Structure 1
Amino acid sequence: MLAFIWAEDQQHLIGNQGQLPWHLPADLRHFQQLTVGQTIIMGRKTYDSFPNGPLPRRQNWVLTTQSAANFPMEVRIFNDVQQIRAAIATAPEQNYFIIGGGSLFEAFAAEVDVLYQTAIKATYQGDVYFPELAWSAFELVHLQIHPATAETPKFSFNEYRRRSNAD
């Protein structure tokens, strides 16, 4: 299964200068619950946003033009999207989560099976937006709403599945 997992504000913002523009502990827990034990795929800028290096208890795959020598041994490096596609094809029964950035979401938009979106009911400042997606190809299968608190705005966890070709 190939999935996208991301959080976005009402303007589809997903990042600001290499960081998340918000702090939502429940979203971080949700991300961890879904991705621990799985393969996460990201671009180099997303990888660089992790202050402690690779995320633990996950296979970290990074798309970059940099040398593998610039990364810890446990990080698998890919130099182009086709290499990632080929690696996924060797074990299609596994779960793969694309976690950013925008160019990876764009590259795999036609192939993604599941979308795990955190929709934040607020607007932030930033410089990276989630790309256009053919939303009509997906159906909402799970919705979990989190009301606003003194510390966080209202947000929801939305899970979408690609519609079958028979639809």
Structure 2
Amino acid sequence: MNILCIIAAAAENNALGKDNDLLWHLPDDFKRFKSLTSGHKIIMGRKTFESFPKPLPNRTHIIITRDKNYKVENEDCIVVHALQEALNLVKDDPLSFIIGGGEIYQLGLEYANQMELTRVHGTFDADTFFPEFDKDKWQLTKEEYHPKDDRHEYDFTYLTYTKKQKE
């Protein structure tokens, strides 16, 4: 079975970011994101891609934009104009990721069968939010709590969800 995994860090109020930037700095979460996504295709919206200083190493970036003239001069980047085009590019991959932003997560929920959600314990002022998802359609399979410490300003919990099979 091919796994299409949504990966995100969202606050308790589902805040993801503001002004195309993250709201917190959690080094362990960055490390986890890197280890999970390295070597795989990552699907994202244009604004998410543009929030990176440069393309992330060892990953193929699939960037969704409505702008038909949008170009990225990098062999690790593919520009598409709809989620369906992006999904066609990963359909034969054993594992691929949807990495944001809010609108792409919302569209991707229907197609994803796994979710790696880092729940940041706090509420934040944001302009981009993780979508509400139907908890009846997803099963929490793993939970790992991390208290705040000298490197992490907030408590957070890694939550792994698997989409329940339809009856």
Note whether the superposition's TM-score is higher than 0.5: yes
Q: CA deviation at 1:68?
A: 5.0
1:47-126 map, 5 Å: 47-51=49-53, 53-64=54-65, 65-67=67-69, 69-89=71-91, 91=92, 93-126=93-126
CA–CA separation in structure 2 for the residues paired with 1:106 and 1:58: 22
How big is each residue's C-alpha offset from its partner over 1:50-91, in whole Å with a ceiling of 9 and x where there is no partner? Answer: 01x2110011110012535344232011011221132233x1
Is the Cα–Cα contact under 8 Å of residues 44 and 104 in structure 2 kept in the other structure?
A: yes
- Alignment match, 1:128: 128
- Structure 2 residue runs of 5 or longer lacking an equivalent are none
> Kindly, what percent of the aligned residue pairs are identical?
29
Q: CA deviation at 1:155?
A: 0.6
- Alignment match, 1:161: 162
CA–CA separation in structure 1 for the residues paired with 2:117 and 2:52: 20
1:37-56 map, 5 Å: 37-51=39-53, 53-56=54-57
TM-score (norm 1): 0.91
**Which of 19, 34, 37 is 1:35 aligned to?**
37
* CA-based RMSD: 1.5
- Which amino acid in 2 is paired with 1:95? L
Moved more, 12-21 or 80-89: 80-89
Q: CA deviation at 1:46?
A: 0.1
Provide the secondary structure at the position in 2 that maps to 1:47: helix
- Structure 1 residue runs of 5 or longer lacking an equivalent are none
Q: CA deviation at 1:98?
A: 0.4
How big is each residue's C-alpha offset from its partner over 1:108-148, in whole Å with a ceiling of 9 and x where there is no partner? Answer: 21111001000011122221011121221111111111012
Are the structure 2 counterparts of residues 69 and 120 from structure 1 closer, same or farther at C-alpha, using a change threshold of 3 Å?
closer
- Which amino acid in 1 is paired with 2:109? A
CA–CA separation in structure 1 for the residues paired with 2:76 and 2:64: 14
Are the structure 2 counterparts of residues 70 and 39 from structure 1 closer, same or farther at C-alpha, using a change threshold of 3 Å?
closer
**Which of 16, 28, 51 is 1:14 aligned to?**
16
Determine whether 1:146 maps to 2:146: yes
Provide the secondary structure at the position in 1 that maps to 2:144: strand
Is the Cα–Cα contact under 8 Å of residues 59 and 76 in structure 2 kept in the other structure?
A: no
CA–CA separation in structure 2 for the residues paired with 1:43 and 1:140: 26
